[in-house]
């Protein structure tokens, strides 16, 4: 089976590897298709596409949007989007502005808690576009306050922890509508994570039904966080006539699953082809 990876991150958001290194990792794994999906950032898409071409790996432009649906966090993946679209660029700039303001407030909270940290300790890394809590966590690791990124997030930076600050988000409906409007395909990311966040299976089905009406085209069935729920998500995709997709959600070698193309059941190349066909169908003149 030709395996693919439709979800991973680079230094343009909170990943540890640059786009070129990610393409090389995929080639070593024998992947036939890959899509870079940085958080609220499309800055690495062109570089990844150029690197993927060198290794004869098929690709599309991609992004992962952090959204809210009635107060509940849902991440939406966008595939085959027009990265030059002015509306998309404006929305992503707004998302980054919201993140940057939140980052300043989080750092202020950390300072009040006794952690000596400045925004310059977090920003200013070459190639970095979207800065978020993982980068603040990494800065805390570098200063010796915590052992690793996970410890920083779980003890200080996640909701309910002492330094946490919320921020503005696109709604999930806005995200799906935006992705469709810029020629892309919208997919619900890592549903297994929402179960851990307290979203019931019934509630997830309700959310998927609403988003499907707005143009949602897929759901990430194969993902490291989905554990033993793969069959349930396959049925969910089938019930709403959605494409079942999958990916590693790779951020770096120090975070499970440890590499692109790992931590999930193999996803066939035909899944990538289904996305491409759907994008081409939407692009065809009526």
Q: What percentage of the chain exceeds 90 in pLDDT?
A: 71
pLDDT at 118: 87
Greater model confidence, 101 or 228 = 101
Lowest mean pLDDT among 176-190, 203-217, 247-261, 264-278: 247-261
pLDDT at 124: 53
Average pLDDT of span 45-61: 98
pLDDT at 1: 57
Distance between CA atoms of residues 87 and 216, nearest Å: 19
* Of 240, 242, 258, nearest in space to 250 by CA: 258
For residue 263, pLDDT over 90 is answered with: no
For residue 125, pLDDT over 70 is answered with: no
Distance between CA atoms of residues 208 and 213, nearest Å: 9
pLDDT at 127: 47
Lowest mean pLDDT among 33-37, 68-72, 131-135, 142-146: 131-135
Average pLDDT of span 231-247: 96
For residue 168, pLDDT over 50 is answered with: yes
For residue 52, pLDDT over 90 is answered with: yes
For residue 126, pLDDT over 50 is answered with: no
- Alpha-carbon distances, residue 6 vs 95, 109, 113, 186 (angstroms): 22, 36, 39, 12
Residue range 2-21, pLDDT digits in tens: 799 999 999 998 888 999 99
CATH class of 4-80+186-283: alpha beta
Tokens representing 101 are 């303001």
pLDDT at 85: 97
Asked if residues 241 and 213 have their Cβ atoms less than 8 Å apart, the reply is no
In this prediction, residue 98 has a pLDDT band, given cuts at 50, 70 and 90, of confident
pTM of the model: 0.87
Tokens 């693919």 sit at which residue?
Answer: 4
pLDDT at 96: 85
Name the residue ranges covered by the structural domains of the chain.
Answer: 4-80+186-283
Lowest mean pLDDT among 49-63, 75-89, 201-215, 253-267: 253-267
In this prediction, residue 38 has a pLDDT band, given cuts at 50, 70 and 90, of very high
Burial class (CB in 10 A: 0-12, 13-18, 19+), 210: middle
Distance between CA atoms of residues 286 and 281, nearest Å: 10
């Amino acid at each position: 089976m030709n395996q693919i990876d439709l979800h991973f991150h680079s230094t343009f958001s909170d990943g540890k590897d640059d786009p070129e290194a990610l393409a090389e990792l995929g080639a070593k794994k024998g992947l036939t298709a890959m899509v870079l999906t940085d958080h609220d950032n499309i800055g690495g898409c062109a570089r990844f596409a150029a690197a993927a071409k060198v290794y004869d790996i098929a690709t599309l432009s991609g992004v992962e949007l952090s959204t809210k649906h009635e107060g509940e966090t849902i991440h939406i993946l966008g595939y085959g989007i027009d990265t030059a679209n002015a509306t998309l660029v404006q929305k992503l700039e707004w998302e980054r502005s919201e993140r940057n303001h939140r980052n300043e407030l989080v750092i202020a909270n950390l300072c009040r808690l006794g952690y000596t940290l400045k925004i310059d300790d977090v920003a200013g890394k070459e190639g970095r576009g979207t800065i978020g809590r993982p980068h603040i966590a990494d800065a805390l690791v570098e200063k010796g306050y915590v052992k690793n990124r996970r410890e920083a997030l779980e003890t200080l930076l996640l909701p309910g922890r002492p330094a946490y600050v919320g921020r503005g988000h696109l709604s999930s409906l806005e995200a799906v509508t935006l992705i469709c409007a810029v020629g892309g395909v919208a997919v619900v990311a890592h549903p297994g994570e929402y179960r851990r966040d307290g979203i019931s299976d019934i509630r997830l089905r309700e959310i998927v039904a609403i988003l499907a009406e707005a143009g949602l085209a897929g759901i990430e069935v194969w993902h490291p966080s989905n554990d033993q729920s793969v069959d349930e998500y396959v049925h969910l995709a089938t019930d709403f006539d959605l494409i079942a997709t999958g990916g590693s959600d790779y951020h770096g070698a120090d975070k499970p699953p440890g590499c692109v193309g790992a931590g999930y059941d193999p996803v066939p190349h035909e899944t990538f082809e289904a996305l491409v066909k759907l994008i081409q169908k939407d692009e065809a003149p009526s």
